Amino acid sequence: MVTRSAARATAGLLAGIIVATLAPPAPAQAANGTIGERETVCASDLFVRTQPNGAWMGTLYQGQTFLVEGPRSGGYIYGFAYGHINRRGWVQDGWFC
């Protein structure tokens, strides 16, 4: 014989499992690049520039990669933009997964 408290506990457990299963994944957290690492772009788009806050020379999109070489300057980081850009340049730091 199943008691009411056991039935309620079972129902609560099942409800929790269903909610956890159907919950959307947590959004990716953006982070600063690590020098020497090939980082994945977490932003929807990330401008590659000739110098910190300089002229635009291309755009990296979410999922594309950037080899962080350094140095850092004024919120920007220097490195190599892979993909269709295939050039060295500066991007805003803090937009990597």
Q: Which domain holds residue 70?
A: 37-92
- pLDDT string in tens for the chain (97-residue length): 555 554 454 444 434 444 343 444 444 567 899 999 999 999 999 999 999 999 999 999 999 999 999 999 999 999 999 989 999 999 999 999 9
Residue type, 56: W
- Tokens 């957290």 — which residue? 29
CA contacts within 13 A on the Cβ side of 76? 17
Residue 18 inside a domain? The answer is: no
Residue 21 inside a domain? The answer is: no
Residue 58 inside a domain? The answer is: yes
Angle 72-81-53 (CA atoms, 0-180°, nearest 5)? 45
C-alpha to C-alpha distance for 9 and 12, rounded to whole angstroms: 5
Instruction: Give φ, ψ of 69 to 5 degrees.
Output: -110, -30
Q: Which pTM does this prediction carry?
A: 0.70
